[in-house]
Structure 1
């Protein structure tokens, strides 16, 4: 959609209202294009970080259990297949949980695990799974995910009590159905929810989530910051419009305030579809985000932009000032720092 406020011939995200059916929501539970061809072999552990090589070994073990489980299922009796039953899962934890900082390759390893196992299988962010439940309902989401050999959950985090109870129930249902799990997070299972709500009141649910996983730590430095320059300085408005026009028909240019208002009217499960056909993103008159809800929606949009490797340029405030100091010290700080890391990478053109 072309927005006349941004200059003739330049598209805009504001005004787009994508609609998604059940089949597309489930079909999109695959690794993003940037991780379409990764493998365990393409992950290069840092020599001074032995936990990275150990994480590869743990996930390869999980992939072997998934493959063994599928082989046992295919070799089971006709009666068991007729009744829809599954053989007993091979010994070992039903899931692996990668804990580590930003940019150490956790998503690369998670996608490598997904690629290494037979289907049907699902890969998505934590938010995409909660959105799946919101779009389909809990029972239908369980039916959609229960046939999977593996459910991979990137950026696992419990942001509120509702998510805590929901994910505890969902994971229990999937494990009972014989589904293996793999997850990444920046928070150990026992610390999920800290700083966001009264996590002690939901200790049973948090412990239930943790019981499904073997934890593997992944240490290291954020690769997006290894020897790379600071994010580019913001452009002035005139140069931003010129750059957006020069970027071609796949560019979108939005007033940042109008864009954040529009995000409130689009369900986060549709943010990927919001970016259909987009090849470059331009934000005009960026200002620090003072509202937590607005900031969290912007984080989801940043994640979807990063999935698609969309170049980013801005005017107004710099990306480093997008989130207030209070936000960067609060309970959601890990989400905000991840978003800053990813947006900076997109602005550098090094995503």
Structure 2
């Protein structure tokens, strides 16, 4: 080796199935901030599509809301006389709802805002207890809830009560979803039995519709082609030899492992991972498996982790039956995000040609 040169340290391949992360209540509270993918998001970096004026309207509405929330208010007067503004951003996947929500949280500031996904808030209630959770969140001016959804009756009652108490405490609530609030739970459980709770939730929000196309890809389902398992292994080893922390897992083993970990810990599961390779990928036709994968893909996307799939490509990962039922919007969003991750460069290895998948993750 020539003087002055340094050899990159080889990092052994890891497996997500070897990880069982635990999160304390303190860590859950500290983690209520926008994810790394949106750490630099701001209203100025959101670029509305001129063909869809609703995007610019939503941008200005949330910008104004952020200004109101950081403006000092006399305690006792504002909260008692004026209901806190609550906004529900409704729109398809890939129109920039998460970017706008993260921008609002940044504008309000980490000390006065809480930002988390729906599943993170439900887990926070379980970890802290309901009263303690309300007490902690009531100290914030803003509670931002990304990907708001009701997948079971218990969540409906829990979130209805939580949001009611936070609003009564003067907290502004802002949520994003692919589903109008009055249609939450539709096609998933007997929503009509919980219609009063759902209507109570809906009445608390000003619904703001954001129209537009998925910025990640414009031709429907991502067409990322499958790679041979041997190639996925070789790419993972090459990236690992270059000093990256790469996870390589068998798909069936990972699916089984996810069932043993609460979805709120999936972020911790992939923290520190620079890339993920999956071998033996097979099409899924089970909603329990599918919903866990949706959360995992969201956490990988939050962190901009490149993914390579062996044996089955993105387009064929989810069955047609699942794409036609109640959770279809979640699955299409997950496929869109996974297609973008499949198009990212691996450390030390070029991205494969994957339809129109981008090589970077835009934040719009």
Aligned pair partner of 1:308 in 303, 310, 326: 303
Aligned pair partner of 2:98 in 103, 107, 112: 107
Q: Which runs of 5+ in 2 are unaligned?
A: 1-10, 345-358
> How many residue pairs end up in the alignment?
332
Q: TM-score, normalised by structure 1?
A: 0.90
SS at match of 2:73: helix
C-alpha distance in structure 2 between counterparts of 1:98 and 1:188, whole Å: 9
Give per-residue Cα distances to partners, 1:216-261, cap 9 Å, x unaligned: 1100010001489954322212111110111124100000000000
Deviation (angstroms), 1:315: 0.6
Of structures 1 and 2, the one scoring higher in RCO (CA 8 A, sep 6+) is 2
| Aligned: 1:53 with 2:56 | yes
Q: Which runs of 5+ in 1 are unaligned?
A: 1-7, 77-84
| Aligned: 1:212 with 2:204 | yes
SS at match of 1:48: coil
The answer to whether the Cα contact below 8 Å between 2:221 and 2:315 also exists between their aligned partners in 1 is no
| Aligned: 1:269 with 2:264 | yes
Counterpart mapping for 1:1-351 below 5 A:
9-68=12-71, 71-73=72-74, 76=75, 87-88=78-79, 91=82, 94-118=85-109, 119-226=111-218, 230-248=222-240, 249-349=244-344, 350=359, 351=361
C-alpha distance in structure 2 between counterparts of 1:231 and 1:41, whole Å: 32
Deviation (angstroms), 1:37: 1.3
Bigger shift: residues 56-65 or 20-29 = 56-65
Deviation (angstroms), 1:111: 0.9
Deviation (angstroms), 1:290: 2.2
SS at match of 1:19: coil
- The 1:108–1:311 alpha-carbon spacing in structure 2 relative to 1, beyond 3 Å, is same
The answer to whether the Cα contact below 8 Å between 1:231 and 1:347 also exists between their aligned partners in 2 is no
